[in-house]
Amino acid sequence: MATSEVNVFCRQMSGMTSYEGYSYEDVSRIAKSVLDRVKCRPHIGIICGSGLGGLANMLEDKEVILYEDIEGFPVSTGHINLEHTWKPVPGHAGQLVFGWLHGKQVVLMKGRAHLYEGYDVHKIILPVRVMKLMGVKMLFVTNASGGINPDYNVGDIMIIKDHFNMPGFAAVNPLVGPNDDRFGPRFPPASQCYSLRLRKIVRSIGEKLGMSGYLREGVYCFLGGPSFETVTECRFLKVAGVDATGMSTVPEVLVAGHCGIEVCGISLVTNKCVMEYDSKQVANHEEVLETGEKRAHDMQKLISAVVGEL
């Protein structure tokens, strides 16, 4: 039986009607079709978080492909505004940008898909597997997050040292489904998802760039969203050892680690989570985008210098 047939068979046998994974052959075909359209042969991948799409400005000799022009790529399901016009999730453009950074070939995702948009977790991670089969060896995953750690401030940049996959407790994990060993093992470890080597480089470069005052290292928690957290949820996360929380990143990181890509996670703390029941503060996406804009230059400087060092 061909692998694609095995996948279909497994889906039928297990009754996994919601399983929307892509086979190794599907991913190979998609990767090839993308590479056929660009000159770049990327070794480094970058995923831009909310409001961080400006990271694409770092690249030279850019070549751009829209997600909607790539088979299977998740486009932002967005929202219908009060003028009855459809808009993508603000801050997530939906462009795959290829280019050069410090003499290295890079592919950058300007915008990502999230669970709360209604996508199956297997769809969300398709771009990471495509990156792998395009030749990517190292992935920088960025995001916007809410600070749980009371010592954190808006605008802090947190190097992710570990994560808490809350939806994973209910088997929301992109590695659920028939495993294809060509991607990675059935039971991969997850205790070293975030490369210690890259964490050290980011820290030392961040310090050299004068960012010590707002450079942190901490634990990121993935939640499904789209609602921001209740006060009780935030207090629970604090007790669990979480420093910052968001609605992305972890599925991408699990899949990257599974297929042997070295991962670096960098989170921008765009707002402080509300920890007091009677607080008048509320989380909102506008503040997230605003902080992203304010720190965009620092994030670019940091990632660009780190890539230059590799």
Ligand X SMILES: O=P(O)(O)O[C@H]1O[C@H](CO)[C@@H](O)[C@H]1O
Cite the annotated binding site for a purine D-ribonucleoside by residue number: 229, 271
Q: Six-digit token pair at 274?
A: 């509300």
* Residues 256 to 295 in contact with ligand GUN, rule: CB under 6 A: 270-271, 273, 283, 288
| CB proximity list for 301: less than 8 A, separation 6 or greater | 209
Which of 93, 247, 296, 299 is an active site residue?
Answer: 247
Q: Which stretch binds ligand GUN (CB under 6 A): 72-80, 107-115, 177-185, 244-252?
A: 244-252
- HSE toward the beta carbon, residue 156, CA cutoff 13 A: 24
Smallest separation (angstroms) from ligand GUN to the CB of 123 = 20
Q: Which stretch binds ligand GUN (CB under 6 A): 13-21, 84-92, 191-199, 223-231?
A: 223-231
- Give the residue carrying structure tokens 């399901």: 77
- Give the residue carrying structure tokens 């420093």: 243
Answer yes or no whether residue 199 interacts with ligand X by CB under 6 A. no
Q: Six-digit token pair at 10?
A: 């497994």
Coil vs helix vs strand at 163: strand
| CB proximity list for 25: less than 8 A, separation 6 or greater | 2, 3, 4
Which of 7, 23, 50, 165 is an active site residue?
Answer: 50
Nearer to ligand GUN, 36 or 151 (CB): 151
Answer yes or no whether residue 223 interacts with ligand GUN by CB under 6 A. yes
Coil vs helix vs strand at 139: strand
Q: What is the CA 67 to chain-centroid distance, rounded?
A: 16
Nearer to ligand X, 133 or 266 (CB): 266
Answer yes or no whether residue 247 interacts with ligand X by CB under 6 A. yes
Q: What is the CA 120 to chain-centroid distance, rounded?
A: 15
Coil vs helix vs strand at 113: coil
* Residues 137 to 176 in contact with ligand GUN, rule: CB under 6 A: 144-146
For the annotated catalytic residues, the residue numbers are 50, 92, 114, 116-117, 144, 247-248, 271, 285
* Site residues, ligand GUN (CB under 6 A): 144-146, 223, 225, 228-229, 245-247, 270-271, 273, 283, 288
